[in-house]
């Protein structure tokens, strides 16, 4: 077996997990050169990833949730070092749709036994994201969901907060423009996907592909609570395309301009911007996955 230089970038709140520690020890016992870098504040994961890549590590492994993963992806920007994922967060949206197991040792098997594949990412105002960016109710719910609620309820916590945000009846207005596309609308939520799933399994951009070099845009217009309640079940399953109040397009780039600053989420990381410049970035990331989103899963990797 080829010995590798492996760098684990571990969210500080997950560093004491016995399963992760056991996995790191197991990898060392197999003869791999292992470094562990722990994060304590915002920006640490990106800095650790960039430093490891510049030193020539063979793979950088993001150990945490989608927020940690997003930072590592940004740290690897401009560097062709493969990414690995050990999902330890609440939603783990990217891991779920690419077949990466929740168990740390089985996720490690994917990294050691699967060659990395090249996939698209996207960016908003220059910040890279791997999965989906949301705006409006969805983004606000993600940002305002308490950590203790996420720990106890998991992805359900996001849905509870979203219901509360919807009850505020706040009007959100924006223009969405791209090549051959224009939309000026009051909206509840929008999603820009390089991949398909956000918010703990909601398929806002169900036709997105990580290999087509395009962004998938979904905008849901402002509507009554009862209408949105009926629509939300279809959105969860990715069966909302073509329904009243839903706009969907596949675009090489997108500019979103809000009537006022917008709450926007990038793979779980919240920002505020009145102008959002989205770009598709074709084939610019190497990553170890079990399968690509939308593909049939292959064999399992339990040892």
Dmax (CA) for the chain in angstroms is 60
All residues at 6 or more sequence positions from 218 whose CB lies less than 8 Å from its CB, including other chains: 190, 191, 193, 204, 205, 240, 241, 246, 247, 248
All residues at 6 or more sequence positions from 28 whose CB lies less than 8 Å from its CB, including other chains: 34
d(CA 222, CA 230): 14
d(CA 33, CA 6): 6
d(CA 253, CA 237): 26
Active-site annotation holder among 71, 140, 221, 269: 269
d(CA 9, CA 98): 20
Structure tokens given for 243: 């329904």
Residue 124 · residue 276 · CB < 8 Å = yes
Burial 151-190 (b: 16+ CB within 10 A, else e): eebebebbbebbeebbeeeeebebebebeeeebebebbbb
Q: Is 269 a catalytic residue?
A: yes
3-state SS class at 244: coil
Which residues are identified as catalytic?
269
């Amino acid at each position: 077996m080829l010995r590798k230089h492996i760098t684990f970038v571990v969210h500080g709140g997950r560093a004491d997990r016995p399963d992760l520690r056991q996995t790191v020890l197991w990898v060392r016992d197999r003869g791999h050169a292992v470094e562990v870098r722990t994060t304590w504040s915002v920006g640490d994961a990106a800095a650790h990833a960039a430093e490891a890549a510049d030193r020539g590590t063979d793979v950088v492994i993001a150990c945490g949730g989608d927020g940690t993963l997003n930072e590592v992806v940004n740290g690897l920007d401009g560097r062709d070092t493969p990414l690995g994922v050990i999902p330890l967060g609440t939603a783990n949206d990217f891991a779920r749709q690419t077949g990466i197991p929740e168990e740390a040792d089985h996720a490690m098997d994917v990294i050691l036994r699967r060659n990395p594949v090249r996939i698209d990412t996207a960016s908003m105002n220059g910040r890279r994201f791997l999965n989906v960016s949301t705006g409006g109710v969805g983004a606000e719910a993600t940002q305002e969901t308490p950590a203790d609620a996420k720990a106890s309820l998991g992805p359900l916590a996001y849905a509870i907060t979203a219901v509360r945000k919807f009850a505020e009846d706040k009007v959100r207005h924006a223009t969405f423009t791209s090549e051959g596309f224009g939309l000026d609308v009051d909206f509840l939520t929008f999603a820009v996907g390089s991949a398909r799933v956000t918010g703990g399994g909601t398929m806002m951009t169900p036709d997105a592909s990580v290999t087509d070099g395009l962004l998938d845009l979904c905008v849901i217009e402002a509507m009554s609570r009862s209408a949105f309640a009926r629509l939300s079940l279809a959105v969860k399953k990715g069966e909302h395309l073509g329904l009243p109040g839903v706009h969907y397009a596949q675009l090489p780039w997108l500019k979103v301009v809000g009537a006022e600053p917008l709450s926007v989420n990038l793979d779980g990381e919240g920002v505020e911007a009145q102008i959002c410049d989205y770009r598709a970035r074709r084939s610019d990331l190497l990553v170890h996955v079990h399968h690509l989103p939308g593909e049939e899963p292959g064999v399992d990797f339990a040892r």
